[in-house]
Chain A
Amino acid sequence: MLITCPYCGPRDVIEFTYQGDGNRERPDPASQNFEAWNAYVYDRLNPAGDHNEIWQHSGGCRTHLRVVRNTLTHEISSVAFVRGDHASGARRKAEDRS
């Protein structure tokens, strides 16, 4: 499986670390809403198809990435930086011209 890091380009999955379900929303740390915490810790969509995931390019540029991966085919339909302000760093195409 290849993940195309927006900074580094296509890399083998061995360079990445899975950081969990990208659909989770963490409650405010001060929250005592136990249902919300229970959902955050345990509830998963477990879809057979496209799945929002967080990965880290831990063996490369070390950025965190939002990845949409198909759980049936492993096809990856989108990869983006978690941090929006890194978008200016996604300049692979500019370099490809040289």
Chain B
Amino acid sequence: MVERQSPLEPELHIGSHGNFEHGIEILLTETRPGSIVQLAAWPGEEKNLMTAIRTVTGLALPDGAGGGLSDGVKSVFGFAPGKFTVADDAEGLAAAFAEAVTPAIGTVTDLSHGRTVIRIAGPKAEWVLAKFFAIDFALTAFPVGAGRSTAHHDVFAQIQRTGADQFDIYVFRSFARSFWKALCHASEEVGYEVQ
């Protein structure tokens, strides 16, 4: 297996940072999934694509715009009509979906090397993200498992809530280091730990 390098590495400093004397309220990590794919259904094929996702991942997508779920190893969420992002700790998602998603159902795009996933967790996660994105992060408006497509300073971001106070942010790998640094700066005032 080829060891994949993290684009964050020069700026990824393990340890506690910022104003953490009164406790750490943010945890930042790179989740480094082994595979990330984007799936798109042809018109009228969305249900068949959702079935294929269940076949490959075992995850049963809920109905609803931006609906999703995660079992801690595999994650899936809708980011646009008929389109889904799927991530897996293991490699090989693209090959598995190439089997399950027939040409009549839709398309599979392997983004394993194209996206970086940054996890922000902790009691101030909502608060820090609210500085970046003009969307509602309240648990009632953005339930656990759900996904959102948005942007920060023209950097596209897909965000999945993977816990009550935990979010996984998918950004373009080429922008990931810049976004990471911004996230670190925004977390300084509440104290953050990089793991």
Contacts and interface: CB of A to CB of B under 8 A. Distances in A.
B150 A15 contact: yes
Interface in B51-65: 62-65
A7 B151 contact: no
B135 interface: yes
Contact of A60 (B43, B63, B149): B149
Interface stretch (A25-33, A35-43, A82-90): A82-90
A11 B66 CA distance: 14
B65 A90 contact: yes
A61 B79 contact: yes
Interface in A49-98: 59-63, 81, 83, 85-86, 88-92, 94-95, 98
Contacts of A60: 80, 149-151
Interface in B72-98: 79-83
Interface string B150-167: 110010100000000000
B148 interface: yes
Interface residues of A, number: 25
Given A63-B80, A91-B63, A95-B65, 9 more contacts: A6-B65, A8-B149, A11-B135, A61-B83, A62-B80, A89-B46, A91-B67, A95-B62, A98-B143
23 contacts: A6-B65, A7-B65, A7-B80, A8-B148, A8-B149, A9-B135, A11-B134, A14-B134, A15-B134, A59-B150, A60-B150, A61-B83, A63-B81, A85-B43, A86-B81, A88-B81, A89-B80, A90-B65, A90-B81, A91-B65, A92-B64, A94-B65, A95-B65
Interface of B: 43-44, 46, 62-67, 79-83, 134-136, 143, 146, 148-151, 154, 156
